[in-house]
Amino acid sequence: MSQQRLTPLYTGVKNHAKKDPIQFHIPGHKKGNGIDPEFREFIGENALSIDLINIGPLDDLHHPHGIIKEAQELAAEAFGADYTFFSVQGTSGAIMTMIMSVCGPGDKIIVPRNVHKSIMSAIIFSGANPIFIHPEIDKNLGISHGITTQSVEKAIEQHPDAKGLLVINPTYFGVSANLKEIVDIAHNANIPVLVDEAHGVHIHFHDELPLSAMQAGADMAATSVHKLGGSMTQSSVLNVKEGLVSPKRVQAIISMLTTTSTSYLLLSSLDVARKQLATVGKQMIENSIQLANKTRDEINLIPGLYCVGKEILGSKAAYDYDPTKLIISIKDLGITGYEVEVWLREKHNIEVELSDLYNILCIITFGDSERETKALINALQELSELHQDKIEARETASVYVPNSPTLALSPRDAFYSETEVISFDYSAGRIIAEFVMVYPPGIPILIPGEVITEENINYIQENLYAGLPVQGPEDATFKKIRVIKERRPIQ
């Protein structure tokens, strides 16, 4: 544990910069001397002095043998992994590595349908065939939870030859399944468990939070240290337990997917974030749990608003939850979550994590204090007063979540097929060759290979109309969509 106070990578990089070496190597701005002066002044000379490259003393993320290796080993110890790989390409890079480490062309992988687009990208790159599990839908909130133990059992029974099972734990909204049971079921069938832990770096460091992937015995976890663990944006880790997966193959694949110009600012920030989590993380997370719980209670006193708490637990897919996520249902105000997002921005200079048709999501971390949560509560109070007439007039507001579309072609086959562009409004019944998603959260409404339905078209239009960031297709206006070309008999 005392070793966890060390930061070999950050200290090594800082000491190197302190020596002020004469640099005849990239980056060409040379400690900031050649960078735009206004940017230099803003960003600061210290940051620029450690914007370095993989020269000898600074080790190499592609072949770690020095300070990066030491930092990764300390991270593995902190996360309870056998090996930790640093990613400078976000959790997306780590997720693609996980999938490509276990799947090749034609291999089956069991995944929930509500996965992040990086998982679908990896499925296309690897040529794997997704076996979709339908996630549990919360019809009251209009959000998807995780997958149930029973659905995993069923999927493995039907596809015992699957090369991997991917689980999102916890979800963007902080809900988690019974991961330990799911891992045991998969391991009984010799199937490795890959966890998308983008929203759960902190759960490993506090007993009251859901079990982390490594605690549950999963084989790999792609974990966003940058999202909730205090490192810089884009820096993540891939944690690995040896046995069903080969760390050597993981190293080879992460290296294939990673830039050769790895940022030492990002890498150093992973080293210090790990130190902070391992040494004082528990107390810091405890403070954020308490702050979030207090904020939740106060929001729940505001008419027309509902901030989700532990009462949602008990369904098969909602086994545990992370109270630092404030899911605030605003549907009874008669406006959309996106309208609330914009109103908070314009009237109160408050930015939320995400919004959808029915909710906003605010995250509380150890970067927050009562100053921020009070501002949120005051703003929500004002919002509620503004919409009081609608709260009184409204009966129970209903939410709508579309069914999962049918997959007619493997995503890779669809992606590489001959395609044509047609009118989006008249595309029902055709097989889509593009992704359509709302980002955030980045969960595809349609993926290449799925059959478009009227329901999908209406749902996408509803999201567009509400102003939500629907993206994916080449035609960002959604007038046109790329579909698989149909071959008709020549007349």
Ligand X SMILES: Cc1ncc(COP(=O)(O)O)c(C=O)c1O
Nearer to ligand X, 74 or 195 (CB): 195
How far apart (Å, rounded) are the C-alpha atoms in residues 399 and 142?
A: 6
Distance from CA of residue 434 to its chain's centroid?
20
CB of 98 to ligand X, least distance (A): 11
**53: helix, strand or coil:** coil
DSSP secondary structure letter of residue 489: P
Residue with tokens 């790895």: 262
Nearer to ligand X, 81 or 122 (CB): 122
Amino acid identity for residue 423 in this structure: S
Nearer to ligand X, 223 or 251 (CB): 223
Nearest to 263 by CA among 27, 20, 25, 19: 27
Tokens describing residue 223? 């974990």
CB of 118 to ligand X, least distance (A): 5
CB of 328 to ligand X, least distance (A): 18
Nearer to ligand X, 308 or 383 (CB): 308
CB of 350 to ligand X, least distance (A): 20
CB of 88 to ligand X, least distance (A): 11
169 Cβ contact list (under 8 Å, min separation 6) = 146, 176, 177, 179, 195, 196, 197, 200, 210, 213, 216
How far apart (Å, rounded) are the C-alpha atoms in residues 90 and 111?
A: 20
Nearest to 315 by CA among 158, 164, 115, 171: 171
How far apart (Å, rounded) are the C-alpha atoms in residues 114 and 382?
A: 34
CB of 363 to ligand X, least distance (A): 12
CB of 196 to ligand X, least distance (A): 5
Nearer to ligand X, 90 or 281 (CB): 90
Nearer to ligand X, 233 or 388 (CB): 233
Tokens describing residue 419? 């395609």
- Is 337 within 8 Å of 330 (Cβ atoms)? yes
CB of 233 to ligand X, least distance (A): 8
Nearer to ligand X, 98 or 299 (CB): 98
CB of 445 to ligand X, least distance (A): 15
Nearer to ligand X, 75 or 451 (CB): 75
Nearer to ligand X, 354 or 483 (CB): 354
Nearer to ligand X, 116 or 325 (CB): 116
CB of 89 to ligand X, least distance (A): 7
Q: Could you write out the DSSP letters of every residue in 101-145?
A: HH--TT-EEEEETT--HHHHHHHHHHTPEEEEEPPPEETTTTEE-
264 Cβ contact list (under 8 Å, min separation 6) = 13, 50, 51, 52, 53, 58
CB of 327 to ligand X, least distance (A): 14
- Computed from CA positions of residues 76, 79, 80, 83, in that sequence, does the dihedral angle turn out positive or negative? negative
3-state secondary structure 153-193: HHHHHHCCCCCEEEEECCCCCCEECCHHHHHHHHHHCCCCE
Nearest to 18 by CA among 45, 41, 53, 42: 45
Nearer to ligand X, 91 or 151 (CB): 91
**84: helix, strand or coil:** strand
Q: Enumerate binding residues for ligand X (CB under 6 A).
A: 90-92, 95, 116, 118, 168, 172, 196, 198, 224, 236, 440-442
DSSP secondary structure letter of residue 268: H
